[in-house]
Amino acid sequence: AQTVTQSQPEMSVQEAETVTLSCTYDTSESDYYLFWYKQPPSRQMILVIRQEAYKQQNATENRFSVNFQKAAKSFSLKISDSQLGDAAMYFCAYRNPMNRDDKIIFGKGTRLHILP
Amino acid sequence: GAVVSQHPSWVICKSGTSVKIECRSLDFQATTMFWYRQFPKQSLMLMATSNEGSKATYEQGVEKDKFLINHASLTLSTLTVTSAHPEDSSFYICSAKSLAGGPKTQYFGPGTRLLVL
């Protein structure tokens, strides 16, 4: 069974600084997708970034980028130039759309605090 | 595009009553919808997967008779919490999978807060 592990329950970063959130996962499958979701106080789940496992190039979305290490099964999220609006819960997630049930498996989350 | 709504956003009910939560895909057709439960400061826990026109598939440990799921159309799934008790108080989130397929095709609703008194 697939698992997703986020070992940092909480993190803090100074506004305008850079922070990296860690995520590791376990799977025996070779093709899958990885995601980072943001859940602000409103609790609406927002997709931050996604990575297809078959792509070697790390995904980037503006200030958000990932470091995808397939062999190590590691998928960290880097947030550059942190802003107050980045304060939220961040969930790392795994999905294999080829699986019949196509479930998203979430990590336990990392709460990110932005210090002004 | 790709908007999922949930209704109600907030519900308070008395212990022993039943509560229905709706999940709608507003601008796309959803073959599959997923229902999650989230306790404060915890992650999302998948409760069940519903496919249009067929019975829902429940995760281990989730009571089928307690959490009734109906996926009557390609745009609507409902979760009914039957004979609700205070321990059912939680945040319930649905997500919908588009017919179009691909990696970015599960969209989340805004969630429903349930408080059982």
Q: What pLDDT is stored for residue B14 in this prediction?
A: 96
What mean pLDDT do residues A2-15 have? 96
- Whether the per-residue pLDDT at A40 is higher than 90: the answer is yes
For residue A42, what is the nearest residue in chain B, using CA coordinates? Answer: B110
- Whether the per-residue pLDDT at A29 is higher than 70: the answer is yes
Mean pLDDT, chain A, rounded, equals 94
pLDDT class for A101, splitting at 50, 70, 90? confident
Output A21 or A103, whichever has higher pLDDT.
Answer: A21
For residue B92, what is the nearest residue in chain A, using CA coordinates? Answer: A43
Using an 8 Å CB-CB cutoff, list chain A residues near B111: 43-44
Tell me the pairing of strands A10-14 and A110-115. Answer: parallel
Using an 8 Å CB-CB cutoff, list chain A residues near B32: 102
B49 near B64, Cβ under 8 Å? no
What mean pLDDT do residues A4-23 have? 97
Task: Give yes or no for A50 touching B (CB within 8 A).
Answer: yes
**How many alpha carbons lie under 13 Å from residue B79 in its C-beta half-sphere?**
35
A47 near B104, Cβ under 8 Å? yes
B72 near B56, Cβ under 8 Å? no
Q: Nearest by CB to B43, from A43, A91, A97: name it.
A: A91
Q: How many beta-carbon pairs below 8 A join chains A and B? A: 46
Interface probe, candidates A104, A108, A111, A112, chain B, greatest B C-beta count within 10 A: A104
- Comparing A47-61, A100-114, B97-111, the range with the smallest average pLDDT is B97-111
Digit-coded pLDDT (tens) for A82-94: 999 999 999 999 9
Q: What pLDDT is stored for residue B104 in this prediction?
A: 58
Q: What is the pLDDT along chain B (117 residues), one digit of tens a residue?
A: 689 999 999 999 999 999 999 999 998 888 889 999 999 889 999 999 998 888 899 999 999 999 999 988 989 999 999 999 999 999 999 999 887 766 556 899 999 999 999
Q: How far is B16 from chain A (nearest CA, A)?
A: 27
Sign of CA dihedral B102, B28, A46, B109: negative
